Amino acid sequence: MPTSLSAPPTAYVNARLLDPATRLDARGALLTVEGRIADLGPHLFAQGVPPGIQTVDCGGHCLAPGLIDLRVNLREPGEEHKETIETASRAAAAGGVTAMAALPNSDPVADDTAGLEFVARRAREVKLVKIYSYGSLTRGAEGNELTEFGLLKEYGAVGFTDGSNVVANANVMRRALSYARAFDATILQAPREPSLAGGVMNNGELATRLGLAGISAMAEVILLERDLRLVEMTDGRYHAALLSTAESLEVVRRAKAKGLKVTCDTAPHYFTLNELAVGDYRTFAKVMPPLRSEEDRAAIAAGLADGTIDAIASDHSPHDQDSKRLPFAQAEFGIIGLETLLPLSLALVHKGEVGLLDLLSRLTCRPAEILGLAAGRLQPGAPADLVLFDLESPWRLDPAGFRSKSKNSPFEGHLVQGKVLRTVVDGRSIFAATD
């Protein structure tokens, strides 16, 4: 992670303070000193800000904990032509993300301490957002031999996953869940049964009409069911990533009702778009798992509203044009998401489907709890990682202006409401909107 740099004491006044962890929603001010929150509340600086303290007038806008993104592909090392740690960090800062967890699918795979140390060193050099790393669950993310969980956790791994690959072997997953218990670690997987997931878009009438191989919703449900049976067998801790189907949510609800140690997330494209976004072979809408039916999309939004889904992650997956400007079947899976994470998520608030504090909890304190981080809260002594945003500001998404090195987004021209004005990490302003 980046080391803290000295920042002057700063007063954020005339703010709408939002802390989902404590359900705080009040007008007031917040003071940061030496990279931490020193005080906050409705009555702070009621008599004015003392001399010697830098002042930021928030203009009545929302001041919340910085977003914590559970799922980011950095592409460095190995694919720097698609993204680098620096460009991803600048994109994150512009999106109000103050901390992100990097998947291990780099080249080489982060399955040893050298991989974790590389990311940590580059994050310190870039000095922007905080970057945490997952350790690869298996050697080379090949799904066979477990890595050294204890050693990797000692070097900062916040969980273990094979990232965009899946652990198909049930015995390997069983051993991983049991082994992780010894280190109080979480196993993360985006479930899909490989033998059923050989297609390129959602299975159904549209795939048939387009002549594309489909991926059944059951590919996700079957492996999720298997993994949660193994959680029940081992008493391990498991996080299901990128849920995209209504039936998967029912599986998670049953597991939570049993008291299993299970959490889950989704990404904005799964509650914003459905399979129709593929249109006439739009490769920028090709993701894994694929965009599903409208019924599934609505179910994912409802799962966020009722608390079944614990977190929202960007699943930032940058690709260059050579990887995306191909026939649909050959194009890479994945879209960028760091700079669209907050505005796309806020659409649920503006539609009245999710309360503002509930939505922010899925982006701040809940991801922090899943990763075991002391972050995602507005409280004295906490790191001064903040996002200031205009809840009402309407704008049109334009990937050409994004900070990410890649521009593979299906949201070009998409109208959103809610814009990041300032991002603060350890008391340092690392992004400020210019308009």
Other Cβ atoms within 10 Å of 274 Cβ, number: 20
Cβ(423)–Cβ(387) below 8 Å: yes
Our CA dihedral for 34, 40, 43, 47, rounded to 10 degrees, sits at 20
The residues, ordered by sequence, that sit 6+ positions from 68 with a Cβ below 8 Å of its Cβ are 97, 98, 99, 100, 101, 363, 364, 367, 368, 371, 373, 375, 376
CA of residue 76 relative to chain centroid, distance: 18
pLDDT at residue 222, rounded to an integer:
98
- Choice among 69, 315, 385, 426 that is catalytic: 315
In terms of Cβ atoms closer than 10 Å to its own Cβ (0-12, 13-18, 19+), residue 336 is: buried
pLDDT at residue 4, rounded to an integer:
47
Cβ(404)–Cβ(88) below 8 Å: yes
Rounded Cα distance between 264 and 347, Å, is 20
315 is catalytic: yes
pLDDT tens per residue across all 435 residues of the chain: 444 456 899 999 999 999 999 999 999 999 999 999 999 999 999 889 999 999 999 999 999 999 999 999 999 999 999 999 999 999 999 999 999 999 999 999 999 999 999 999 999 999 999 999 999 999 999 999 999 999 999 999 999 999 999 999 999 999 999 999 999 999 999 999 999 999 999 999 999 999 999 999 999 999 999 999 999 999 999 999 999 999 999 999 999 999 999 999 999 999 999 999 999 999 999 999 999 999 999 999 999 999 999 999 999 999 999 999 999 999 999 999 999 999 999 999 999 999 999 999 999 999 999 999 999 999 999 999 999 999 999 999 999 999 999 999 999 999 999 999 999 999 999 999 985
pLDDT at residue 5, rounded to an integer:
59
Token digits of residue 372: 């075991």
Residue found under tokens 């996700």: 220
pLDDT at residue 252, rounded to an integer:
98
Q: How far apart are the first and last CA of the chain?
A: 30
Domain boundaries, the chain: 10-63+383-432, 66-371
Over the range 198-208, which residues count as b (16 or more CB within 10 Å of their CB) and which as e? ebbbbbbebbe
Encoded amino acid at 367, one letter? P
- Report whether CATH 2.30.40.10 matches the domain 10-63+383-432: yes
pLDDT at residue 435, rounded to an integer:
56
- Fold of domain 66-371: TIM Barrel (3.20.20)
Other Cβ atoms within 10 Å of 409 Cβ, number: 22
10-63+383-432 matches 66-371 in fold = no
pLDDT at residue 1, rounded to an integer:
47
